[in-house]
Amino acid sequence: MKKQQRINYPASKKIYIKGKIHDIQVGMRSVTLLDTITMENGKKQVEPNNPVILYDTSGAYSNPDIPIDITKGLVRLRQEWIEKRNDTELLPSFSSNYCKERLSDSSLNKIRFPLTNLPRKAKSGNAITQMYYACQGIITPEMEYVAIRENQQNEQLGIETHITPEFVRQEIASGKAIIPANINHPEAEPMIIGTNFLVKINTNIGNSSLMSGIDEEVEKAIWSCKWGGDTLMDLSTGEHIHETREWIIRNTPVPVGTVPLYQTLEKLNGRITDLNWEIYRDTLIEQCEQGVDYFTIHAGLLRSHLPLLKNRTTGIVSRGGSIIANWMTQHQKENLFYTHFEDICLLLKQYDVAVSLGDGLRPGCIADANDAGQFAELSVLGELTKIAWKHHVQVLIEGPGHVPMHKIRPNMDEQLKHCHGAPFYTLGPLTTDIAPGYDHITSAIGAAQIARYGTAMICYVTPKEHLSLPDKEDVRTGVIAYKIAAHAADLAKGHPGAQVRDNALSKARFDFRWKDQFNLSLDPEKALEYYRTGRLGDESGHCTMCGPHFCAMKLTKEMNDCALTE
Amino acid sequence: MKKQQRINYPASKKIYIKGKIHDIQVGMRSVTLLDTITMENGKKQVEPNNPVILYDTSGAYSNPDIPIDITKGLVRLRQEWIEKRNDTELLPSFSSNYCKERLSDSSLNKIRFPLTNLPRKAKSGNAITQMYYACQGIITPEMEYVAIRENQQNEQLGIETHITPEFVRQEIASGKAIIPANINHPEAEPMIIGTNFLVKINTNIGNSSLMSGIDEEVEKAIWSCKWGGDTLMDLSTGEHIHETREWIIRNTPVPVGTVPLYQTLEKLNGRITDLNWEIYRDTLIEQCEQGVDYFTIHAGLLRSHLPLLKNRTTGIVSRGGSIIANWMTQHQKENLFYTHFEDICLLLKQYDVAVSLGDGLRPGCIADANDAGQFAELSVLGELTKIAWKHHVQVLIEGPGHVPMHKIRPNMDEQLKHCHGAPFYTLGPLTTDIAPGYDHITSAIGAAQIARYGTAMICYVTPKEHLSLPDKEDVRTGVIAYKIAAHAADLAKGHPGAQVRDNALSKARFDFRWKDQFNLSLDPEKALEYYRTGRLGDESGHCTMCGPHFCAMKLTKEMNDCALTE
């Protein structure tokens, strides 16, 4: 790996908030602000501004006191918590055939992550999931962690909040929220996905067979965390998937998801016909033991749905969906993920891997939105949810795709109707098809709205969607577009404390505290860069847009005393 | 002026659709598509795809058969229509003192637009507005023009539409829509702004005193039309406003708006105290005779509103609003635009300049959204609307600003309640304050929603908002973000024919007709650029994102015959 990775946020320090139930420390970012300075009757008045405490996805990378070494991986934050529960055991070796094969292949040594942590698994096959504990009435350290994390500075500011550790437990127990937390990914900081919590965003990375390598993927993972990605899906389809993923998981402080089918097909050199339960199961075990936190599984697309697609404009646009549809067609058999769904749950519950029920029939264009195929599959996803919950496997429901604005609410309502409150996790949706090159925007418009109506996590779309694979700048742009959508939804939902940051930034704007404005923004570097392109003179007193004469905020200040007290 | 300006759209030709009532020709853009080629039983099947006809804001610039010379200005399309009505006359000279002064200043010759068209005005002070004609039951060429323009290819495709010339007339007569069409800007192609028509977007340009010059502003105006800007506001505050505006108006095929107060204050060297009706009136006449199509006038902000702002986080953020508020405070007088509003209407109706009632108290942050001050002013705007309509002056109502998503609908409802159906024209709104550098996105999210609920025109925001003045690339990005928002709203409102373009593009996507996909997109150049960054091989058969093995659409095609007919 080429370099030390570090994340610096301006005027920010890492702070840790202690738990009250458990011996935990929740990392947050505290942004220090300048004083507000006003003149009153010729006298300078100084009013200090409290620091703003922000939700922080950057983990140890933004703490200069913690040494970072990519070849060693992050500190295993949750290891002690997991051990203390005493319901799991370290295995003597990896269980999947594939992992054994890769470990014994010495030609891979030069690209392999250099440390091997043996995998952990439930003792005697029991569920050891957060949902299981929640149903037992147990508040885990993970649950307290997310409760603190979600509250930002509410306690300090006296903002009332419903989000207590006990509330978290109830939400997890009911299936309305999940904490993706594979016991083999103890490096990840707990986070919660549910409609009654902050809206989360997922970013996708992945080396397709055409482009990019391990270095770049790890760098992208950290980059995504820097800008605020809450979870990360590794959608690699190229060579060395196994090794790349190991590097990513060991160095990523957020939950990691995958679509295990992709790797399974790599193992089969792309021969869909050869797909079978045994090789898929081996892949699930391989990834469970590596530490993947959630799996997208396209178990809801049934043979009976295929005729519903006859009149679609863009057919199936989900890779996983199209693969399993082809397999079903070739073998004239029902979807093997559906028929083996209970087997899958029996496996996942032993590692606490959440299942993200894939929407293989998500609409790929406006014309196909909310059609019979999409909703038929959604209804099966609801059925599968019940099965997963029976095994205390945590569940996400995946959603579209391309949906015009007037069909967003009906789509959300359909999910609520069929899926028993399991959190919805959507890709966008894109609200028009006509803007390739700008689909981070077409989809942020849809994502903000569906999140407002209850979607718990939105999967980002980059400007390169439909066109090419995203590079680092595209990832940044996509993440920020989605942080905007998520935050706009948090505001609209009245999430406790969400508006604190807006208020602080706007006060800074009105005070001409430019640096505070930038430091509080989602992308301080970009804001500063744009600001500098327009600067000719000093750094205060008016903004570059209006020029010195007609700055509205300056004029407001000038008349403030006399006018507003009339 | 430095160069020949031309606009090229790929695979597109300019077509003209003839009127049935009037001898008019409506310029549209026709995009030629490739054939869909499929294999059936080993035989190649060729299915031709109809060209897609698009609404076109680029005027003559995209017609290679029309000579373009910036120093001569565009063809005066509407001149004959206006003359034929026989209710206006050419004046022997310009009426405003300021214009006379400038014309007699020979030092300005080198920057002056070289041709002088004498101004036109209503004979004997009568109203000669589109609203006046509509109320008389007259369908003008302008009305038929916009009816054809709005319908795109509906007739050809058999899509039912409510938009007939008679419907246009009714909407204009009722005040629910406007056609901004100053008789002194006959170069502009008629367009309509109203909730029952395609959502329109406005772009702002303008040389602040700090940056940019005439060349650049004219280039930006044409640039804005290229990407789809429907109207253009010239917000210049620097030197040579008068001369810059002349260049812009003579060369712009879309309506041009201004805030006359800005220039008035330039004339007063920024001394707000010296603002008075006479100099403002002279500025209005100057701009009426130059051809400005609509004026933003902050007539609804009253003295009694100022105390309502006491607890605002960002006070007044409208330049015009802050200026008039300061003036009222200094003079202890009521807003002179309010007290002279009837005088203003008497002037505007003689040139058919529409009034855009400015929202001086628009909220500048989430905290101030939908507050008492904002809504108090909105209610006065409704009162002024009635006065303007009495004189058959066409009216737009301006709106915010910064509004969180859950307050967007209530804001729209408040406008509908108070403003008698006059079209709403909003700046965004931005749905969060925390993303300077990305406010084209925060605001496109809000703009799409408020447009869906009925806003007729949305004013773009560029990435540089709050930070600096936009350059050409920022204008492009801002325009496209707003074309997306507007189109998303058109789809959600079920505008007749709006989805034709989405369907054609998505079919092209499914067919791997990459070029058609790009040519139909809002920004073909960007789409192609991004596509090329990811290309290593051929141009068909799979997309760069999935790689060759797992392309969902390719897989769908492979199984299509057998599966979908099961």
* DSSP code string of A116-134: -PPPEEEGGG----HHHHH
What is the β-pairing status of strands A12-18 and A25-31? antiparallel
Residue of A493 and B548 predicted with greater confidence: A493
Which of B269, B445, B500 should we substitute to test contact with A (largest number of A Cβ atoms within 10 Å)? Answer: B445
- DSSP letters spanning A99-120: HHHHHH-GGGGGGS-S--PPPE
pLDDT band at A169 (very low <50, low <70, confident <90, very high): very high
Q: Which of these ranges, A232-236, B297-301, B331-335, B377-381, has the smallest mean pLDDT?
A: A232-236
How does pLDDT run across B337-354, given as a tens digit for each residue?
999 999 999 999 999 999
d(CA A390, CA A122): 17
pLDDT band at A354 (very low <50, low <70, confident <90, very high): very high
Give how far the C-alpha of residue A303 lies from the chain's centroid of Cα atoms, to the nearest Å. 31
What pLDDT, on the 0 to 100 scale, is given for residue B557? 77
pLDDT reading at B562 higher than 70: no
CA neighbours within 13 Å on the CB side: how many for A426?
38
Residues of chain B contacting A460 with CB distance shorter than 8 Å: none
Q: How far is B159 from chain A (nearest CA, A)?
A: 15
How does pLDDT run across A224-269, given as a tens digit for each residue?
999 999 999 998 877 789 999 999 999 999 999 999 999 999 999 9
Q: How far is B226 from chain A (nearest CA, A)?
A: 15
The amino acid present at A326, given as its one-letter code, is N
What pLDDT, on the 0 to 100 scale, is given for residue B39? 84
**Residues A365, B491: C-beta atoms closer than 8 Å:** no
Count contacts between A and B (CB, < 8 Å): 422
Buried residues in A454-466 as b, exposed as e (16+ CB within 10 A): bbbbbbbbbbbbb
What pLDDT, on the 0 to 100 scale, is given for residue A344? 98
What pLDDT, on the 0 to 100 scale, is given for residue B563? 46
* Backbone φ, ψ for residue B54 (5° rounding): -115, 145
**Residues B445, A534: C-beta atoms closer than 8 Å:** no
- DSSP letters spanning A65-80: TS---TTT-S--TTHH
Per-residue pLDDT, averaged over B207-215, amounts to 61
pLDDT reading at B560 higher than 70: no
d(CA A308, CA A204): 29
Count CB-CB contacts under 10 A for residue A548.
16
User: Which H helix or E strand runs over A555?
Assistant: helix A552-563
pLDDT reading at B417 higher than 90: yes
Q: How far is B484 from chain A (nearest CA, A)?
A: 6
**Residues B488, A444: C-beta atoms closer than 8 Å:** no
d(CA B308, CA B294): 29
Residues of chain B contacting A517 with CB distance shorter than 8 Å: 436, 466
pLDDT reading at B47 higher than 60: yes
Give the 3-state DSSP-derived string for A292-312, with helices as H, strands as E and coil as C: CCEEEECCCCCHHHHHHHCCC
pLDDT band at A547 (very low <50, low <70, confident <90, very high): low
What pLDDT, on the 0 to 100 scale, is given for residue B212? 58
d(CA B272, CA B260): 14
Q: Are B202 and B478 in contact (CB under 8 A)?
A: no
How does pLDDT run across A90-117, given as a tens digit for each residue?
999 999 999 999 999 999 999 999 998 8
Give the 3-state DSSP-derived string for B59-111, with helices as H, strands as E and coil as C: HHHHCCCCCCCCCCCCCCCCHHHHHHHCCEEECCCCCCHHHHHHHHCHHHHHH
pLDDT reading at A9 higher than 90: yes
d(CA B434, CA A517): 8
Task: State the average pLDDT for chain A.
Answer: 93
Residues of chain B contacting A440 with CB distance shorter than 8 Å: 441
Give Cα separations from B355 to A301, B335, B383, B423 (angstroms).
56, 16, 14, 11
Question: What pTM was computed for the model?
Answer: 0.96
pLDDT reading at A381 higher than 90: yes
How does pLDDT run across A305-334, given as a tens digit for each residue?
999 999 999 999 999 999 999 999 999 999
**Residues A438, B480: C-beta atoms closer than 8 Å:** yes
Give Cα separations from B191 to A80, B28, B297 (angstroms).
68, 13, 21
d(CA A461, CA A485): 12
What pLDDT, on the 0 to 100 scale, is given for residue B218? 85
Q: Which of these ranges, A24-33, B166-175, B390-399, B465-474, has the smallest mean pLDDT?
A: B465-474
What pLDDT, on the 0 to 100 scale, is given for residue B210? 47
d(CA B200, CA B181): 15
Count CB-CB contacts under 10 A for residue B349.
24
What pLDDT, on the 0 to 100 scale, is given for residue B205? 85
Give Cα separations from B126 to B89, B93, B135, B183, B443 (angstroms).
12, 20, 14, 14, 40
Chain B: residue whose CA lies nearest to A362: B552
Chain A: residue whose CA lies nearest to B406: A492
What pLDDT, on the 0 to 100 scale, is given for residue B565? 40
Which of A506, A543, A557, A560 should we substitute to test contact with B (largest number of B Cβ atoms within 10 Å)? Answer: A506
What pLDDT, on the 0 to 100 scale, is given for residue A564? 46
**Residues A553, B315: C-beta atoms closer than 8 Å:** yes
What pLDDT, on the 0 to 100 scale, is given for residue A544? 58
d(CA B179, CA B188): 11
pLDDT band at B533 (very low <50, low <70, confident <90, very high): confident
Q: How far is B337 from chain A (nearest CA, A)?
A: 18
What pLDDT, on the 0 to 100 scale, is given for residue A76? 97
